[in-house]
A = this chain, B = another copy of it.
């Protein structure tokens, strides 16, 4: 069972290279996982981590979100919801367009670097914020990562190049004195800010992620031997989890009538 976006990317790369040795279920790719955990969970907990670490007022701040995948759009949505002016950076033109149509400013990170107050990486890649960006930043900029390991922000460079580093100026925040005389603040050593500086995701999203993992495990264990590849979680499992969750939230929804079901499947009427 693989629970993270970056893990699934790597497992698929292994499968493509013929290096995968065991069957794997891409739990992350289940809608009951990434639609909720990555968007609503990461969205809230990332801002929570940043507020706890820095005490900053999000309203009136310029927040730069790198990456407009499910994590990135959750973060961008919550930052705006707290009153920020949000900038999105992307490498995928379709996602960049979506961000623009959602009302966010979209630009290159080199341009965003000059105006951001708070930077949040959520790309799953490395070196999204590098020396080229650090030197352009305003004095007092906050750097945080909510996507992947401590490589999205080039922390190694910061540790090498800074004239001086003050650890824990506030809890989990290190001040890097750059050679241009400015200071940038790194949160949680560049590790996942929602885990490093807050308490991770709320139970109300982890329940769905863990239910997906548990039920997919049961399915893999009880069914026929799975072939060695990256498997999707069966849609029936996702639908059952979503239905149980709705019940827990006291939400009742409609069901298709037989006539409606037939209409959707037909091609002889309604066209």
A156, CB-defined interface residue at 8 Å: no
Residue of B nearest to A90 (CB): B253
Cβ of A71 to closest chain B Cβ, rounded Å: 14
- A22 is an interface residue with CB less than 8 A from chain B: no
Contact of A89 among B31, B82, B254 (CB under 8 A): B254
A172 interface contact, C-beta 8 A: no
Take A10-B271, A101-B36 as given contacts and tell me if A44 and B51 are in contact as well, using a CB distance cutoff of 8 Å.
Answer: yes
Q: A7-B271, A93-B242 are in contact. Are A57 and B44 (CB under 8 A)?
A: yes
Query: Which residues of chain B have C-beta atoms less than 8 A from A43's C-beta?
Result: 59, 83
Interface size on A, residues (CB 8 A): 93
A107 within 8 A of B: yes
Q: Take A60-B100, A103-B84, A254-B109 as given contacts and tell me if A55 and B238 are in contact as well, using a CB distance cutoff of 8 Å.
A: no
For residue A224, CB closer than 8 A to chain B, the reply is no
Contact B82 A44 (CB under 8 A): yes
Which residues in B have their C-beta under 8 angstroms from that of A245? Answer: 93, 97
Tell yes or no: A124 within 8 A of B by CB.
Answer: yes
